[in-house]
Amino acid sequence: MHPVIKLVAQRLALGLLLLFAASVLIFIGTQILPGDVAQSILGQSATPQSLANLRAELGLDVPAPVRYFNWLAGIMHGDLGKALTNGQDIATAMGKRLGNTLFLASCAAVIAVPAAILLGLIAVRYQGRWPDRVISTITLATVSVPEFLLGYIAVYFLSVQLRWFPSLATVYDGMTFGEKLYAVSMPVLVLVLVVLGHMMRMTRAAILNVMQSAYVETAELKGLRKFTIIARHAFPNAIAPVVNVVMINLAYLVVGVVVVEVVFVYPGMGQYLVDHVSKRDVPVVQACGLVFAAVYIGLNLVADVVSILANPRLRHPK
């Protein structure tokens, strides 16, 4: 078998195994949460009678291992179950939220990834001179400010004072694509600022590393333009670390933006998860955990595979 195919197959198998292990951890984690689901659903208004009624209805009397395998079997069939709190089908409800999250993440990624790489290339081209310093300082500053504060600053100036963009990013069925884009403009701006610095710095560092190589010197001696050397000769060899950091940031855009969602009232996965955690809605928490794990593992797999494919020694074995 071609070594690349073998390597990729190994990675995929490992990913699946990891996902399986994650599902066990998620299940155990949700079982040892303090408090009682029925109590949490009813909150302060719980009476012993209504508590007993709800517990019986939720089937909380079945032992945990049985529930785990029932749950796993359900997932294999694409059935994530029903939310305990409002009886909605989880797959349907979460599908919509996941769609929203992916929409926001893609909008941010479409801007942030090319911008980060381009800025990284420019920073290397003018290394140590003012464009490099300006780019580095600004991206470091935006990455250092907590994202909720960035959000509030953006809201204050762009929504309340100038009224250019809406401070609420609520999207719902029936909005046109253009309306949705306008609605998410503020959270996209904040997310871009948050992830830009990390990716740009990594691009810059990886390329600078390659720039020490002898073949770059050769290219310089050949009289190639500096930017051509960076883009054509150095960047392809720096692609593995760059893809890695891009994927980590993409994963963050999908699973880690709950704070931005809260600030801009965006109906994404993070808010959905938090609501259900606070109500101990275990099936939803498990489903969300699994989706997040799958996204993380999946994107890291992509990074691994791209690194493998970007390595000529693996692509062209002797």
Partner 1 sequence: MKDDLAKLIDQIDAARLSRRGFMGGVAAVGALATMRAPAFAADPNKGGTLKLGLGGGETTDTMDPGLSDSPVPFSVGRQWGDTIVNVTPGGEIEMRLAESMSSDPEGKVWTFNIRQGVKFHDGSDMTVDDVVATFKRHSDENSKSGALGIMKGIADIKADGNAVVFTLTDGNADLPYLLSDYHLIVQPKGGVDNPNAAIGTGPYKVVSVDPGVRYAFEKNADDWDTTRGHYDAVEILVINDATARTSALQSGQVHMINRIDPKVAKLLARAPGVEVKNVSGRGHYVFIMHTDTAPFDNNDLRLALKFAINRVEMVDKILDGYGGVGNDTPINAAYPLFSQAAPQRVYDIEKAKEHYAASGHDGSPIELIVADTAFPGAVDAAALFQQSAEAAGIPLVIKRVPDDGYWSDVWNVKPFCASYWGGRPVQDQMWSTAYLSTADWNDTKFKREDVDALILQARSETDVAVRTELYGKIYKIVNEEGGVICPMFNDFIDAHSDKVAGWIENPNYEMSGGFASSTTWFA
User: Which residues would be at the binding site for partner 1 (CB under 8 A)?
Assistant: 34-36, 39-50, 53-54, 83, 85-88, 93, 152, 155-156, 159-160, 163, 166-168, 170, 172-174, 262-265, 267, 271-272, 275-276, 278-279, 281
The 3 state secondary structure assigned to 103-123 is HHHHHHHHHHHHHHHHHHHHH
Q: Which is nearer to partner 1, 35 or 128 (CB)?
A: 35
CB of 227 to partner 1, least distance (A): 43
Q: Which is nearer to partner 1, 9 or 265 (CB)?
A: 265
Q: What are phi and psi of 269, to 5 degrees?
A: -65, -40
CB of 210 to partner 1, least distance (A): 44
Q: What are residue 89's DSSP bridge partners?
A: 82
CA distance 15 to 303: 12
Q: Which is nearer to partner 1, 20 or 148 (CB)?
A: 148
How many angstroms separate the Cα of 255 from the Cα of each of 18, 27, 30, 250?
17, 18, 18, 9
CA distance 86 to 84: 6
CB of 22 to partner 1, least distance (A): 23
Q: Which is nearer to partner 1, 13 or 265 (CB)?
A: 265
Q: Which is nearer to partner 1, 120 or 268 (CB)?
A: 268
Based on its alpha-carbon atoms, the radius of gyration of the chain, rounded to whole angstroms, reads: 24
What does the chain come to in residues? 318
Residues 123, 226 contacting (CB under 8 angstroms): no
Q: Which is nearer to partner 1, 85 or 127 (CB)?
A: 85
Q: Which is nearer to partner 1, 31 or 278 (CB)?
A: 278
How many angstroms separate the Cα of 148 from the Cα of each of 160, 161, 185, 192?
16, 18, 15, 13
CB of 116 to partner 1, least distance (A): 28
CB of 52 to partner 1, least distance (A): 10
Q: What are phi and psi of 89, to 5 degrees?
A: -70, 125
Instruction: List Cβ neighbours of 3 (8 Å cut-off, separation of 6 or more).
Output: 314, 317
- Tally of CA atoms within 13 A in the half-sphere of 61 that contains its CB: 7
Instruction: List Cβ neighbours of 207 (8 Å cut-off, separation of 6 or more).
Output: 120, 121, 124, 230, 234, 235, 238
Q: Which is nearer to partner 1, 281 or 304 (CB)?
A: 281
